[in-house]
Structures are given as C-alpha cells and as structure tokens.
Amino acid sequence: MLEVLPLGGLGEVGRNMTAVSFGDGYVVVDMGVRLDAIQAFEDANLANMSLQELVKINAIPDDSPLRKEKVKAVFLTHGHLDHIGAVGKLIRPYRAPLYGTPFTLELVRRLVLEEDERRVEMVRVRPGERVEVGDLEVEFLPANHSIPQTVFLLLRQGEHSLLFATDFKLDENPLLGPPTDLGELRRKVGEDLEAALVGTVRVDEPGPTRSEGRAREMLEETMRRVERKGKALLVTTFSSHLVRIKSIVEISEELGRIPVLVGRSMKNYFSAAAELNLISFPPDLPVYGTPGTIKKFLKKANGSRGDYVLICTGHQGEPTSVLSKIADRKLPFRIEDDDQVIFSASVIPNPINQNHRSLLETKLLVQGARIHRDVHVSGHAARVDTAEFLRALSPRHLLPCHGTPEKLEAMMELGRELGYGRENLHLLENGHPLRLGG
C-alpha cells in the first residue's frame, strides 16, 4: 500500500507539506509556510503565535491528521521558505531526523531555527546521493530551479515508488551545475514509476520556460542599455537566487561599477552559500546586512552613485526591504532624476504583492527613477516543459501539487491530454489521503 496524505500546498501556493506511508509509519516531505498569509498578518509576531493560531490563518500546514502517527523522517526538496519555513514550528514533537541537501539545511539552520538547532537531528545528503530509512530508500536527484541544490526526491519501498517533482524547470544552460538531462533522470527513476507529485506553479503558461543563461543575457542587455554616467543603478532580485545574483555581480564589474549586496536577507543567503563554497563570488564583494552598515554605506554611495550597482532586496515591494525604505526616504540614499531601477523578478501574483509592488513603483517614479520590469526567467516548468517531463518519466499515476485550484486543474487537463484516465489522475485535497495499490 502507498498512501499520500497532503497537509498543505493543495489549492494554494505555499505551506507545502505531504506525508507518505508504505504501511509502516509515515515520512514527511517539506514543511513550508504560506508567505501571503504571513504578510497579511505582518504586525503579528509570528514567533510568539501558537501552532493553532498559525494554522488558523493558513500560514503553516495543518498537521493534525499526523500528530498521533509515527513519523520516521522529514525530507526537504529545496530551501525556499514555502518548503522549509515551518520546520521550526512543526518538527520537534515528531522527534524525527531532518534530511536535506547541505545548502537547504544551512538555510534551515540560519533562517528557520535561527541557529537554535538543538533537538533537531540534521542529515546532510548531497544531490545525487541516496539514503535508507528502514526499508525505505530515498534518492536525492539533482533538479534545476531558482535556488541551488534543489532535488527531486524518489521514494522506493518494496514494489512501490513515488517521485516528488514539486519545483523544477528544464534548463539547457542553468549557469550552475549540469543542464537538465531527462534521459539520465529516466534511467535513475526506472521504467516503472508508480506515481509522481508534480508542481503546477507555471503549468497554466504555455512556455517553454527560458533558461537561466537567457536571464543573464537579458540582464546584460538591459544593464548596458540603461547605464547612465553618474546615475544610480539599482537591481533587485530574489536573495535566494544566487546564480542570478552572480550574473548581476559579473555584469556590474564588466560595466566598471562596483557591485554591492544590500539587505538583511541578501547577506543571509550569501553567507550560507559562502559557508559551503557553493558559488564563487569576488573575494572582496561588499555585502551589507545590518541596519548600521547599510546606512553607513548608502550615505557614502549617495554622493558617488555612479560608482556602484546596488543589488538590493525589494523585488516584491516588501515594505521592510531596502528598496522600499529608499523609496520612503527612510535611508540616506535619495532617488534622483534618471536613476535606473531594474526588477529581475516577476510579481508573485497575489493581491498583497501586487499592491506593495505598484506602490513601490509609484514612489520611485515620482522621484524621477526609470523602471525596468521583468528582466527575469521563471524557475518553474511551464506547460510544454511539464509535458516533456511527464512523457520522459511516464509515471502511472499523476498527482498535481503545489498550486491554486486553477493551476491544479490546468495540470489535470494536461494529464488527460497525455492519456491519463480517471483512475490514474488524482486531484488531491489537503487533509485527504490517497491510497494506491491496495
């Protein structure tokens, strides 16, 4: 028997968590938060909120169906907060070890457990390696996404096999690590994959999703085109997207400007990557993450704005980000006419982000900035890429996951087009188990 019990991430974007049983206790994959729910309650102190309160506002998964069960291990697919952000709130009562790639666990340690990792046993597994937990075998297969060391998880026990492919893209030029090789993945997964949970974040877009190499070309073209002598150049992107940040750093140097990372989370992710020697950055790259050092640097940069590229937080218009605080004149750096601001990110489509972002853009525009949007490629497979992935791996059962009802339905439709019948195509709901194979 194979049971899949989703506890979050179905019918919504965020708070991903799925329990799996092969008949002898459970293992869990991912424990994420839902960022829009957290933003909606930004005045509340989440650290002080009880588990019940956090579940009630849909900020973390509702793991109540699992509380009385034996949980043998928790596995993490990658380091985005919608996959790891609830570890600190949920894992301890299970007394289960936490398995993840080194970078993912470094982020858990720094961002989620805030360096208080007592009582959580962490097992670091490199992409490409496999581990055994009792009779269960779990392979960490390398995947391309928008954060380093993302994996597909392949769970095998007896005749059962289940693949987690929540967040991935097909990328022929990812700039870090090898390109996606579906033939190789097929060989590792085998000819007879029983079931796959496949993420739907961008499956409602035709695609194909462009490669990270293309993002670098777009950035290079834009940064060269908008470069104005003596004017500020600010670029904002995801702090966790270290490959993208490396591209921006390199292009800045080619332009003869000094790249500088500014913002608390910029420093957090950069330090985690540096600790593991994951990506090579210039050894003297300035990185400012504390309020004091940020203010001191920006005061200096304000008088010599043409010397730098400010790589800063704020791509979604988050009110506490560096870019928002600059726009609000809360930091000693003033936007002037013809300063250039590049958004190397798309707006994550929820009403809070959309409002924050348009407010930020308006503030920047009225102060004279020129804005350049969407210099970005997605980290998620679109429809054609997902179809190619499904054809290559041909799981017997398709379980759409990680998406709003519309996105789950788009994947159902793609499944039907690829020949999946009612008995092989499963629309899951949080809290409702699916049992396969008697």
**Of 80 and 315, CB closest to Zn ion:** 80
**Of 139 and 167, CB closest to Zn ion:** 167
Q: In whole angstroms, how close is the CB of 407 to Zn ion at the nearest point? A: 14
**Of 223 and 399, CB closest to Zn ion:** 399
Q: In whole angstroms, how close is the CB of 167 to Zn ion at the nearest point? A: 4
Angle at 147 between CA 376 and CA 218, to 5 degrees: 20
How many residues touch Zn ion under the rule CB under 5 A: the total is 2
**Of 174 and 259, CB closest to Zn ion:** 174
Residues 78-97 that bind Zn ion (CB under 5 A): 80
* DSSP secondary structure of 262-282: ESHHHHHHHHHHHHTT-S---
Q: In whole angstroms, how close is the CB of 199 to Zn ion at the nearest point? A: 8
Contacts of residue 298, Cβ cutoff 8 Å, sequence gap at least 6: 262, 326, 331, 332, 333
Please report whether residue 385 would count as binding Zn ion according to CB under 5 A: no
**Of 104 and 161, CB closest to Zn ion:** 104
**Of 14 and 317, CB closest to Zn ion:** 14
Element containing residue 413 per DSSP (H, E) = helix 405-417
DSSP structural state of residue 108: I
390, amino acid identity: L
CA-based nearest residue to 339, from 221, 422, 227: 227
Element containing residue 243 per DSSP (H, E) = helix 242-254
- For residues 121 and 98, the answer to whether their CB atoms sit within 8 Å is yes
- For residues 125 and 101, the answer to whether their CB atoms sit within 8 Å is yes
Q: In whole angstroms, how close is the CB of 151 to Zn ion at the nearest point? A: 11
Q: How many CB atoms within 10 Å of residue 428?
A: 20
284, amino acid identity: D
**Of 167 and 339, CB closest to Zn ion:** 167
Element containing residue 195 per DSSP (H, E) = strand 195-199
Binding track over 138-177 against Zn ion, x by CB under 5 A: -----------------------------x----------
**Of 63 and 167, CB closest to Zn ion:** 167
Q: How far is CA 395 from CA 23, 67, 107, 207, in A?
A: 21, 30, 31, 22
* DSSP secondary structure of 83-107: HHTTHHHHSGGGT--EEE-HHHHHH
Residues 41-80 that bind Zn ion (CB under 5 A): 80
Q: In whole angstroms, how close is the CB of 201 to Zn ion at the nearest point? A: 8
Q: In whole angstroms, how close is the CB of 359 to Zn ion at the nearest point? A: 26
**Of 62 and 167, CB closest to Zn ion:** 167
Q: In whole angstroms, how close is the CB of 148 to Zn ion at the nearest point? A: 11
- Exposure class string for 413-427: b at 16+ Cβ within 10 A, else e: ebbeeeebeeeebbb
- Which 3 state secondary structure label does DSSP give 234? strand
**Of 167 and 194, CB closest to Zn ion:** 167
Two tokens, residue 1: 């028997």
Q: In whole angstroms, how close is the CB of 76 to Zn ion at the nearest point? A: 11
Q: In whole angstroms, how close is the CB of 179 to Zn ion at the nearest point? A: 19
Widest Cα–Cα separation across the chain? 71
Q: In whole angstroms, how close is the CB of 338 to Zn ion at the nearest point? A: 36
Q: How many CB atoms within 10 Å of residue 156?
A: 21
User: Where on the chain is the footprint of Zn ion (CB under 5 A)?
Assistant: 80, 167
